[in-house]
Every structure is written in structure tokens, then in C-alpha cells.
Structure 1
Amino acid sequence: MDGIRRAVEWADAIPFKNRGGFLDFASLVPDSKPLHLHFLESKPGIFDDVNHLNSDGTGFWRAKLVHMLQFYHRRRIISSFQRFKKNKSWIINANSKFSASRLWKEYQIEGGVLYPVVDISEFNSNPTNEEKEALRKLRSQGIPYLVTVGNMSRFKGVFEALEHVSGCDLDLVVIGGGSSEQNQLFRKKADSLGVDVQILSNLNSIEMCAIFRNARAVVGFSHGEAFGLTPVEAMAIGTPPLFVDFGGYTDTIVDGVNGRLLSRGDLEAWRKAFEQAKDEETRESWAREGVTRIQELGLTPERHVERLKKSIDSITTV
């Protein structure tokens, strides 16, 4: 602890990241020391209900003691952010416009936006022979499919993907998955909806690129993803991203320009989008615009450092 205090005293300014939990580290920083917080996301289950649900959407009952502890924990987290309201030398940048809106909703703090660094060097538009071999091992040729990425938590919305794919004559490939029990429940749900599914885990970058590149589209149904890397990876590789119109997805996808943003539960709109993503001219146009969008967002380390320096300069001169 003494070493941390000496480092804080030595530094001209303190930049650090936080995923929405209690700001323990900030308690070691005096008000006189400029501090920049990169706010990544809200703490799961503290400001939302969806993280308390089972993966299939059932559940939610919790004992009164758990609710009381959660209430206490939420108040403690909110209290730890209050120093930012009183100090002009302390600022917060969120990792997306959506995260910035959550920062205001949960803490009544207005923050800027500092997009994260996204390494897309392995997600290029040119397929390799290794990819083709990987695809041959992982998928049966000629069967169209959609791909979604995530674990089996309700937050990721993987079960909801089944409901939107049902009746569209498309397989669903899940990169991620969960426990054997969760995967079994997922397959049972898929069977009841007539959807052929495949769960793939521990893929290397070549295998993941192969699955992405050959999909009809990459889809996502997360309940408030703070930023969301998956649409960016899909755009980099040239596969249409079709995502719910909520969360950080709205920062990266421009509806109808480089992909689609669709309402959760509008099954007909999703069905039409799956057909739209089949059209070669549309795919090529979205792929071009996707590369342009990535460049506009400036997700490189150089742009990130440039923006971070600008923010820190603004508080070291106060």
C-alpha cells in the first residue's frame, strides 16, 4: 500500500480504468491530484435486473437478505463516485456513448467518450488457406448459418437468438457457450424451436475468422453491451453485423449503412434482415462502409493515446 501511495504522490496525473464497481483505488488519491477514469461498464446486477435471470429468462427470485445487501452495495458504489462531482481536476470518459448515458443515469455524472483500442489485425478481409481448412473441419459445406458470440448468461441474449432465428432455415453457431447443463438446456430449447445449433468454444483466431467469414451474418442480442467488440470484428472481416438497437452496438453500427440495428422481438424485421444479408451487393456495400466506420471511430492505439492525452492535459492545466 505504501508503494501505491508513493506512486500516486510521484505522478502528475492518475489515469485508471473501472468496470463500475467501488472505486477503492480512488480513495488513495487526494483531491489535489488530477485523475482520469475510463468508465467501461456498470457493475452487473447492481443497476439492472437481467443479470439476475437464468440464461433462458426464468428465475429472478432472491431472498430478502440478498436484496438488502445489493441495496447497500449499490449505495456504496454510488457514494464512491461523488468526489467526481466536486472536483474539476477529476474527470470521467466512458468507452461508448451508451456507457456515458449509463454514467449519467446511475451517478448523475456527465462524462465524455473515449473509445477503447480494438486490435483487428487478425480479422482481415482476405481469407487464408488455414481458414478454409478450419472451416472444413468445423462446418458442413453449403448449410447457411448465423453466428453469435457469448456465454449462456441472460445478459448475452444467446437464448433469445434462437427465438429470432426459428423458422428462417438457418443454423445458429454459438462461439462461447456455458456449462454442460446450460448447453444441454440450450440445445433442448433449440430442438423445440426447430433450430439446428452448434456450440464452439476455445477457438483460435483462424477458426473464429473462418466461422465469421462464411456466416450469413453475425448477430447479437445482449442486454446493454457497454461497447461490444463483435460488430467491429464482423465489419473488419466483411460479414454483415445484425444487432439489437441497444447498448454500445449503436456506436459502431449505422443502420442500413454498414449493418442493421433491429428491435428485440420484432421477428419479421429480423427475418427480412437475414434475407437482406444474403444479397451480395448489400454485403459488399456494408463491408466497404464497415471499414470506413472503423476508421472513423479511431480504435487504434495511436488515436486512443492521442485522445487520452488531450483529456489529461485538460485537467493538469486546471
Structure 2
Amino acid sequence: MREIEIIAPNFKRRLSGVTSTIVQLIPKQIELGCRIVTLGPGLPAHLPKLDLSRLPGLWLRPRRHAVRVWHARRNNEMLAGLVLKSLLRMPLKLVFTSAAQRRHSRYTRWLIRRMDAVIATSDRSGSFLKVPHTVIQHGVDLKLFHPPETADDRMAATDLPGKYLIGCFGRVRHQKGTDLFVKAMIELLPRHPDWTAVVCGRVTAEHKGFGEELTKSVADAGLSDRIRFLGEVPDIRPWYRRATLYVAPSRNEGFGLTPLEAMASCTAVVASDAGAYSEMIVPGETGAVVPAGDGEALTRAIAAYLSDPEETLRQGDNAVRHVRLNFALEKEATAISAIYDQLLGGR
């Protein structure tokens, strides 16, 4: 226990964007020397974990510092940290990372004011905070998401028709704008026979009707062979590399990592301005940004890329360089570690 200096709770069993961030970030933080553990369900076995039965050990100070850091990313995690620190008098400093793109509730604002440090994942999310904060944008693991390297990374490795692939990945639901993508494909693909579209992502029970309507609209248009619904694939990474263009049409989003994952894979991106998408993309150089929920603007932006595959490929090349320079996961991990060091009082 005395070697543990950072605790990253994850109080949600189901996979979410926050959980994905923790899973990717913690190994990088460990590489940088952070003595960090997770706490809670729904995390893979390879991450170091603190069992609930060992929580009383937090009354013991860590070997190198007078306090530990509790890094919360949800309201219930902030509350738990506050109870441990203020009621149980455990030597903790509290950090909260906010990705919300909306005005916080009174309760959330009350919790945030009691944090020792606050991180915003984008300038936009930071604009909704009423306390001092540091903007640290999410990064992407460049070892996992990279340009095509083998034959399996190419469009030709699939059984799909056409020469170029356009993809939309993530849960199939209204919030994610999957319908806007499908509608754009129904309109555009008949004019661009070299392109095929894929939708990868899970359809949960509550959105089953939504998914069935999309499938029916594609069938009615006679495009079932060129607009494929692949469901939840075992590994999404090769599909990023096979795509020439990626579309992120979300109506609303917290941060949203998929455009970064696509660009790191040498794929140009058309995205809405939901979440932090507009802060990731350089319009005309790595992709395009359109107003969230504007299907016509989305269709127009996609059409320009389908009409000029060479330009699309050029912007994909630019995207790799852009992500490596600005959105490497190591950069995020280093910036967060600096916050930890400040709270721990240096090392």
C-alpha cells in the first residue's frame, strides 16, 4: 500500500468512453513512473488494481509523499473521494477530469468546487467550468493506431466491392448520428461506384428499432451490397486502416476519440462539431468539420472527398503527422503526471 501514490477509480461496470480512457492511459502513466492503481469493476486484468478490502490502508501515508492522489472522472467518484478525504480524514488530494460539453448541475458544481485540481479535456469543456482548470486533451496510442503495414490493412483484404472504403464506427443510435451517415451514403454512393461504406458498432436492445430502420432504408435503396452493417467487430483497428475516409457524425459527444484513432491510421475525417472534434481536425488539411445534426452539410462535405480520392489520401497522410505531433497518448500522460506531481509536492 505504501508504494501506491495515485488511485484511478472506475465506478461503472459497462464499457464507456471514460473507461476506455482509463484502460489506454494507465499503462502509459506507469511507463512514466506513476505508481498508480485502479479501483472498481469493468477493467481488464492487466491493469493494477486496489481491492476494496484494502481501502483502510489509505490511512497510511505513501512512502515518498505526505498524500495520495484520487483521480475521479465521474460524479460518484468525486463523491467517494470527498468522503474518504473529508469525513474519513484519509491523506488524499482530489483531481477531477471533466469532458462535459454542457452546463453542470448544481450538485456537480458543488463537487467540483471541492476538488484540489480540475482538468478539462478540451477548450470547449473548460468553458463550462467555473473554477481554475488545466486543459489536457486526450491522446491516442500510436502503437495501436497506425498507418497500414500489411496486406490485411488494405481494402482488398475485405470481401467488399469497390476500391475505396468509407466508415462510421461506434454504437448505432440517434445520438451518434448513424442515420445521418446512412442517409448521406444512400444519396452519394450511386454517383461514386468506387466507394463502399461500412457501419461498425453494437446495436443495443433499446436502439434495435433504430437499427432496423436503417437496414431497411438501405435495402429499399438497393444498396445492401455497398452499405454494410458489420455489427461489433472483434478488432476495430484494421478497419480504420482499410478506410480512406472516416465519418464521425455525432449529434452530441463528450470528447470523442474515434477521429483521432482514424487520423492516426492515415485516414481523413469528416466530423460534426460535437464534443472536441473541431479541436482535433485541421479543415482542408486533415478533414472537414460541419455543424452537429446538419445532414445536408455532412453530405456536402463527404461528397467532396468521394469526388477526389487522391486529395482524400493526401489529407490522410497529413492526419498522421498532425496526430503524432499534437495528440500522442504520451503527451496526455505526461501532462497529467505534472498535475499529480504538483499535488504530491514534487518527487
Output the amino acid matched with 2:147. S
For the aligned residue pairs, the C-alpha RMSD in angstroms reads 3.3
Deviations 1:165-210 (A, max 9, x none): 33112654211030454432221244466754321133233xx344
Partner of residue 120 from structure 2, selected from 94, 108, 129: 94
> Could you tell me which of 217, 228, 253 is aligned with 1:198?
228
CA deviations over 1:28-85 (Å, ceiling 9, x no partner):
123974322233447xxxx69xxxxxxxxxxxxxxxxxxxxxxxx954444333323x
2:154–2:241 Cα contact (<8 Å) kept = no
What is the CA-CA distance between 1:259 and the residue it aligns to?
0.9
Closer/same/farther in 2, CA of residues 21 and 271 from structure 1, 3 Å limit: farther
Secondary structure (helix, strand or coil) at the match of 1:177 reads coil
2 CA distance for matches of 1:281 and 1:172?
18
Query: Contact between 1:216 and 1:274, CA under 8 Å: does it hold in 2?
Result: no
One-letter code aligned to 1:121: K
- Matching residue of 2:136: 114
Aligned to 1:159: 179
Q: Flag the 1:269–1:173 CA change in 2: closer, same or farther, 3 A.
A: closer
How far residue 286 of structure 1 moved from its aligned partner, in angstroms, is 1.5
Residues 78 and 96 in structure 2, CA contact (< 8 A), matched pair in contact too: no
Displacement after TM superposition at 1:240 (Å): 1.2
Question: Does the residue aligned with 1:156 lie in a helix, a strand or coil?
Answer: coil
Matched, 1:256 2:284: yes
Q: Which residue number in structure 2 is paired with residue 52 of structure 1?
A: none
SS at match of 2:170: strand
The 1:245/1:74 distance shift into structure 2, 3 A limit, reads closer
- CA distance 1:306–1:124, change in 2 (3 Å): closer
The reply to whether residue 29 of structure 1 matches residue 71 of structure 2 is: no
Match of 2:150 in 1: 128
CA distance in 2, matches of 1:241, 1:76: 37
Contact 2:174–2:210 (CA<8 Å) still a contact in 1? no
C-alpha distance after superposition, 1:133-164 (max 9, x if no partner) = 98334x23x16552111212322111222233
Q: Secondary structure at the match of 1:120?
A: coil
Equivalent in the alignment of 1:311: 339
Q: Which residue of 2 aligns with 1:51?
A: none
Partner of 1:184: 212
The number of equivalent residue pairs is: 276
Answer yes or no: is the 8 Å Cα contact 2:142–2:328 preserved in 1: no
Deviation at 1:124, TM superposition (A): 2.4
Q: With the length of structure 2 as denominator, give the TM-score of the two structures.
A: 0.67
Secondary structure of the residue that 2:96 maps to in structure 1?
strand
1:79 maps to a residue whose letter is W
Instruction: Say whether residues 1:274 and 2:309 are aligned partners.
Output: no
Distance 1:239 1:80, change over 3 A: same
Q: Verify the 8 A CA contact 2:197 2:228 in the aligned structure 1.
A: yes
Give the aligned partner of residue 61 of structure 1. none
Q: Is the 8 A contact 2:267 2:317 kept in 1?
A: no
Choose from 293, 313, 319 the match for 1:290. 319
Note if contact 1:158-1:221 (Cα within 8 Å) is conserved in structure 2.
Answer: yes
1:19 to 60, 67, 74: 74
Shift of 1:215: 3.3
Q: Is the 8 A contact 1:8 1:29 kept in 2?
A: no
Letter in 2 for 1:29: K
CA deviation vs aligned residue, 1:91-136 (integer Å, no higher than 9, x gap): 111222233234x2xxx33421223342232332234133459833
1:122 partner amino acid: L
Distance in 2 (CA, whole Å) between partners of 1:101 and 1:251 is 14
Is the CA contact (8 Å cut-off) linking 1:148 and 1:220 kept in structure 2?
A: yes
- In 2, are the aligned partners of 1:167 and 1:194 still within 8 Å (CA)? no
Unpaired runs of 5+ residues, structure 2, are 1-51, 190-194
Task: Check conservation: 2:241, 2:267, Cα contact below 8 A.
Answer: yes
Q: Give CA-to-partner distance per residue, 1:271-294, whole Å, 9 cap, x none.
A: 244333553442343223212221
Aligned partners of 1:15, 1:296: CA distance in 2, in Å? 29
Q: Which has the higher helix share?
A: 1
